[in-house]
Structure 1
Amino acid sequence: MSQPRDTLSRPLRNLRISVTDRCNLRCSYCMPEEHYVWLPRQEILHFEEISTLVDLFTELGVDKVRLTGGEPLLRQDVPVLVRLLAAKPALHDLAVTTNGILLESMAQALFDAGLHRVTVSLDTLRRERFRILARRDALEQVLEGIAAAQRAGFQRLKLDCVVLRGDNDDEMIDLLEYSKRIGAELRFIEYMDVGGATQWSPDKVFPRHAMLERLMRHYGRIEPIAEQTSAPADRFRLSDGTVFGIISSTTAPFCRSCDRSRLTADGMWYLCLYAHSGTDLRQPLRSGATGEEIKQLIVPAWQQRRDRGAQERLALRQRQPLAEVNELRRDPHLEMHTRGG
């Protein structure tokens, strides 16, 4: 079966898989409440089920998989899943996004299992600020996890920083200098309007142009790197050769080139981070549907895809969070931590 394209001619190529909706942090911009409605454990996909679905997606052209959460390293025996997926020749890129807290103890096992890349979320280098932003005193564990990933052999380490106006925008230089020291590539991310519990407001968004102005005042000339890619980050180079990225999904969305979809831990497949509904792949899989039958659910859904969620939200006159808190409690699939960010 040939690779399907959607109504905007975007191919199906990049799959983000949430392996758990649970997390050991309570970051203000993602899941700030202490208590959530969790997905029922009996509905969580087994590793073999995830592997089966990945086989079907690779037959349709997917060659990149990223494991997310929640916090993916909370999933018991996740290196076993990594080994299953790393053995698939059609996958050219297998990555994990983690908050890094459990990375120190797991980095070597993940590397040995065949994981290609690790991205670690790092919003601050200040212990007290980390405690305020994440509601946990865990900065040292994160930094130790980053060091462990490098010792394990991960060469292409990335760091993700969500920049919040008035909260951590004053640390952009410090974070970039830290990334230079350890040889990682830092990506600054605009605060996104997903989930009512975060109390998202446009006033808290520190936009791309402000990021570049802040950095240019310190570093001088910054050179854009011209790339033909569907990656979410625009990349830039400092005069000393340091490369960093900016993901400006809030003020300059990349919908036109977006080739990614999301599979939740319980098997719901979403075509856009902002989608209100998805396709249940767990039910047919567990009911004995053949691979061809499941692909017949995937292909038409992608071919009919016209999602431009971030662009449509940018055009809203009065922009509010995607879903209010009462909606999130009725359907946890609307939560950012459920569909993998």
Structure 2
Amino acid sequence: MTETTDTAARWSLAIHGGAGAMTPEIMDAAMAAEYEAALATALEAGAAVLRDGGSALDAVSAAVSALEDDPHFNAGRGAVFTYHGTNELDAAIMDGRNRAAGAVSAVTRTRNPVQLARVVMEQGPHVFLAGAGAEEFARDHGMAEVDPAWFATAERRCQLDEFKSRKDGWFDADLKFGTVGAVARDANGDLAAATSTGGLTGKRWNRIGDSPVIGAGTYADNRACAVSCTGTGEVFIRVGVAHEIAARMRLAGEDVATATRAVLGEVGHLGGVGGIIAVDAEGTLTHAFNTNGLYRGFADHTGRAEVGIFGPA
């Protein structure tokens, strides 16, 4: 846990790169080291902002952008393929100061969807844009675009081919949730959260999970906490996971760790799996997962900087 001193310089940051069915038996030391290095790079991108007195909003945007650019994770470059062989990207960001939020879904050309979500929040009249409309908004606001092929990787294509060769239905039963996210508390005491994903391998019909849904996969409120989730999106939406954690803290007086574990327990009761990272108004970081592992990292004003995959949930 993060120290909760009264120093004005107190800040804290948590990131995640998804939860899933990975195990130490199938992930050798070299592969684990690759993921840990990628997590460390993204963690430092966000920590550097906070260390220099920057905002929580800038920190989560920097960390998630770094994760989107890294093909190890299911967001941005390296996103999974839809059933029809395309990459459809979703992202959301939220400012705990005033509960301003922005979200995008089914974008195919914006290099960093989390940055587009922030522009939607700060420069648009709406909270949530999707598909061609979101892409038009991105062009109107000068967002960096790439050819859709930039997001594609050979590994993700193989995963789609393997998925389509099955005879056991359309849902990705392997439960490799590579969604990425970050939560932060800055030295001013402000909170922010951001989440980005490529969704599920083989998804159809413009399926949208919890990541871009404010209150489900992403939420930030200075009165309680900032939360980013990864997992069975349909269940996380039904539970309203991120908002539920904040509500339990505000209305029932639960601490962030208790609320997070209780809500993840509810997800599990409904048959869902995944992971959660959260930070409260004092800068206390917590995480929980009910899968084999959660790609994660934590940093704060004390010099803490650590990443992990397995270990205690």
TM, length-normalised to structure 1: 0.27
Instruction: Report which of the two has the higher share of helix.
Output: 1
Instruction: Report which of the two has the higher share of strand.
Output: 2
Larger Rg over CA atoms: 1
TM, length-normalised to structure 2: 0.29
